[in-house]
A and B are shown apart, each in its own frame.
Chain A
């Protein structure tokens, strides 16, 4: 339907008055209103990220902003961010998965044993690890959605059991090395510089084409669209960020002249693809819409005829599958799997990343990108404080404080949102 037909059929209805497109200024002021109303999204995390980066650059101008350290950040953040992207799905339905850390350990150790002791091809071993993760998710989802155990307890049980499973697979105190070149390459090798540039440019062009196309089709259909200026600003910001990162990662970062280390780490495009895939599922498909609906009002979702239990189980499977993929990244990075793989702070960092990024612990609000932004915050704290020479103890305390702050922002913005009628 064209704009003119809409406006002529119901000229005074604001609903169909598609001709009144918001201006750039209005769109910006709408956003400010939204933020003031308590719907802050990733804004606090992005601000924190910028502050932290500048603080560490100021404190360690030689090491922190170096190309070597920048690449390091991506490789350090990869595992946490990947688990965290899965965690977003269970947080969205108002649940939690405490077993995600050891699910990654299970997948890593399964893969490593199959590679080392059984001589499996890398892709079969990876598949086995990922399937093991998916089964854990199915089990967790079944206990929560069908049996009705609170997810905190159901996944705590899985947390304990999986810790045992990893011990048994690795057979007490051992350490399974990973020799497979493909697996090791994920976290330790880089794309050729030219590929990095090609992928970066391609990504920017694809984003620009996609967002301009959406904008044009909304205008064509007589629907409210964000102002073109804002679309262009977003494209420019993304292009600057992506191409800037590629440029930095394309610099020579080897400390010796014997080997050359440059290019985008291989794990980066893998994570980008995973994020795009999950983001697509969440925002563009009916299933994704149902996930938000379950998190918002499970009873209303049930009355709308949506199989709520199936949506819940699917979210747990997605979470565990992502954790399993992260387990493979972790094995690649450590070049081995030990019995504590996926233990200690892995899970808490992953949950923390999602929450710091702006995903609500109360369900119904969150995005995949939150996990990446929050993961970046945690990686920067970890990395920067390491460069400053602080011990692990201090790092944990600071990360804990940041998580508490993020959860407080979530809870307070929720209260404010209720007061101003936005949830």
Chain B
């Protein structure tokens, strides 16, 4: 149904993750009422929306913490049922949560390998873990950490975020979901983390970046998916969109101001849905 020749810049592999018509209810609350999301390898896909729009629920469904009540999930083009977090890890989905999930009393190496320690017999293989951790951090061009044997407690917010992201990268992951990675950071640290996010995508990973911050989104995102009241309002190419359009979509779920018709990342998926959903208001 897609036509790669017209829109994709070069050869297009199937999206790493595609969610179609995702639905999730909590009792009488309809948290997700038809969500579409496409995350492509080598791209940063920003997921934006106001508080309560369903961003957290959506990523928890993708991470296997909740299950969609209805809808379709394709992972690398194949239908996937993500029943629990371990299944998500198996597929190569790693989530970096907002509250970080690092142990302050362990050092960087221990945190990066937590739950997946390398062993020699029954002993921990500290040398190999330390070397691999150093290699991953070096490959992400992280040069701000003094020693990878220091406790995470002694790191700054940006460094902690870096460790959490590096941990997600360590496991040959294909899709990394970052939940507001810059929310608590200062200007310089935000810049560092955003550069890191960009490098992840440049390394060929699919990155989903949940963010409130339009500056961040427009700085790194290739594609922007807007959630409005549990529905996907639109998924647009960042290059063809203005900040005002996105903010309008976030606040009203549609674009009143006219403007050029949005260009979806791939025709036939988000665009088709966008038309059906917003047809009345678009006119």
Contacts and interface: CB of A to CB of B under 8 A. Distances in A.
A151 B100 CA distance: 27
A273 interface: no
Contact of A305 (B89, B100, B105): B89
B106 interface: yes
Given A10-B138, A284-B124, A423-B151, A15 B105 contact: no
A208 B151 CA distance: 27
Nearest to B136: A15
A305 B138 contact: no
Interface string B27-67: 00000000000000000000000000000000000000000
A16 B106 contact: no
A292 B103 contact: yes
Interface string B85-113: 11001000000010011111110001000
Nearest to B153: A423
Nearest to A363: B105
A15 B102 contact: no
Interface string A4-22: 0010011011111000000
Interface residues of B, number: 38
Nearest to A223: B130
A339 to B, nearest CB: 41
B145 to A, nearest CB: 6
Interface stretch (B11-19, B115-123, B199-207, B211-219): B115-123
B239 interface: no
Nearest to A92: B105
B103 A15 contact: no
A200 interface: no
Nearest to A298: B103
Nearest to B138: A10
Nearest to A293: B103
Interface string A194-234: 00000000000000000000000110011110000000000
B131 interface: yes
Given A16-B135, A422-B151, A304 B124 contact: no
A304 B114 contact: yes
A292 to B, nearest CB: 6
A334 B153 CA distance: 47
B127 interface: yes
A297 interface: yes
A147 interface: no
A1 B134 CA distance: 12
Contact of A285 (B124, B134, B151): B124
Given A224-B147, A289-B124, A417-B153, A13 B106 contact: no
Interface class of chain B by DSSP: loop
B119 A286 contact: yes
Contacts of B243: none
B24 to A, nearest CB: 20
Contacts of B122: 285
A101 B119 CA distance: 36
A335 interface: no
A295 B146 CA distance: 25
A301 B114 contact: yes
B86 A305 contact: yes
Interface string A295-323: 11101110111100000000000000000
Contacts of A218: 127
A16 B103 contact: no
Contact of B115 (A9, A16, A217, A306): A306
Contacts of B80: none
B7 interface: no
Please indicate which of the listed interface residues B106, B137, B146, B147 has the most CB atoms of chain A within 10 Å of its own CB: B106
B142 interface: yes
Contact of A364 (B105, B116, B119, B145): B105
Contacts of A389: none
Interface in A313-354: none
B106 A292 contact: yes
Contacts of B149: 224
Contact of A15 (B106, B117, B124, B138): B138
A301 B106 CA distance: 11
A296 B143 contact: no
Interface string B144-171: 0111110101110000000000000000
B68 to A, nearest CB: 20
B147 A14 contact: yes
Given A223-B127, A422-B151, A422-B154, A14 B105 contact: no
Please indicate which of the listed interface residues B85, B105, B148, B153 has the most CB atoms of chain A within 10 Å of its own CB: B105
Contact of A300 (B101, B119, B130): B101
A337 B97 CA distance: 54
A17 B122 CA distance: 29
A242 to B, nearest CB: 24
A15 B146 CA distance: 7
Given A14-B146, A297-B103, A300-B102, 9 more contacts: A12-B143, A16-B134, A284-B124, A286-B117, A292-B106, A293-B110, A300-B114, A304-B116, A422-B154
The 10 A-B residue pairs with the shortest CB-CB distance in the complex, in nearest-first order:
A304-B115, A296-B103, A296-B105, A300-B101, A364-B105, A423-B153, A286-B117, A304-B114, A421-B154, A10-B138
24 contacts: A9-B138, A13-B138, A14-B143, A15-B143, A221-B127, A222-B131, A284-B123, A285-B123, A289-B114, A289-B117, A289-B124, A290-B115, A293-B103, A296-B103, A297-B102, A299-B101, A300-B100, A300-B101, A300-B102, A301-B114, A301-B115, A306-B114, A364-B104, A365-B105
